[in-house]
Amino acid sequence: MSGAEGRRRLVLVLARYDATGAAPPGVDADAFARACLADTYEVTADLEGARSGLVGPASLDELLWPGAVRLDDTGLDDLLAACAELADEVVLVPADAPDLPGLVLAKQLKVLHRADVAVAPERGGPGCVALGFRLPVAAWLPLADLDLDVDPRAALRAAAPADAVVESTPDWHRLRGATAVHRLDPALEGWEETRALLSGR
């Protein structure tokens, strides 16, 4: 699906950044991670003007909405090269953000028409909750050093040819530790799979 300016936009959930470490006592860690991944993907699939997808094994195919894509988990260089065949902008999201508001991702997509890269930092943590790229990737970007578990803004700004090519967008939390589940807000819509698992249904 094309964006408002006719640009092809893609939002991908990376399964390798899972929520197993945040499973509360009595909840199976793998089931918890799967529920969080499913809810995170639902947020991306519900976005207007963007195609959604998952990065990970073929077992994830059952979660995909019609028209979505699944890509194998390769290095970031290869992943972004594959994305460049499909889109003009891509946003990468970790699979441990089940209650992520769509607005956080919409802000990423909004700035990528003018920036080479956009970072939504992890609230209360050392990483980021979304990392967006204009495609094809700018030659100056240090892709080998980028990891969603590390906030890259300082390194990106040090390498950037101009300040304007690196954008910060609103933050959000991830579920990465034993107490992280308490950050989930029952008043927020969405995260049904995670909510049901935690409620014992």
Beta carbons of 19 and 96 less than 8 angstroms apart: yes
User: Which of 3.30.1490.190, 3.90.550.10, 3.40.50.1860, 3.30.9.10 is the CATH number of 9-194?
Assistant: 3.90.550.10
| pLDDT tens digits, 116-161 | 999 999 999 999 999 999 999 999 999 999 999 999 999 999 999 9
| Residue 2, pLDDT score | 45
Confidence category of residue 184, pLDDT binned at 50, 70, 90 = very high
Average pLDDT, the chain: 95
For the cut 80, the answer to whether the pLDDT of residue 170 exceeds it is: yes
**Its pTM surpasses 0.75:** yes
At residue 49, does pLDDT exceed 80? yes
- Locate the domains of the chain by residue range: 9-194
- Residue 57: predicted pLDDT: 96
In one-letter notation, the amino acid at residue 12 is L
| Average pLDDT, integer, range 182-192 | 90
Which pLDDT band, with edges at 50, 70 and 90, does 82 fall under? very high
Cβ(40)–Cβ(98) below 8 Å: yes
* Beta-carbon contacts of residue 169 (< 8 Å; ≥ 6 apart): 104, 107, 108, 111, 118, 119, 120, 130, 132
Between the alpha carbon of residue 129 and those of residues 12, 67, 119, 125, the distances in Å are 12, 24, 8, 10
Distance of CA 175 to the CA centre of its chain: 13
Based on its alpha-carbon atoms, the radius of gyration of the chain, rounded to whole angstroms, reads 16
Average pLDDT over residues 161-190: 93
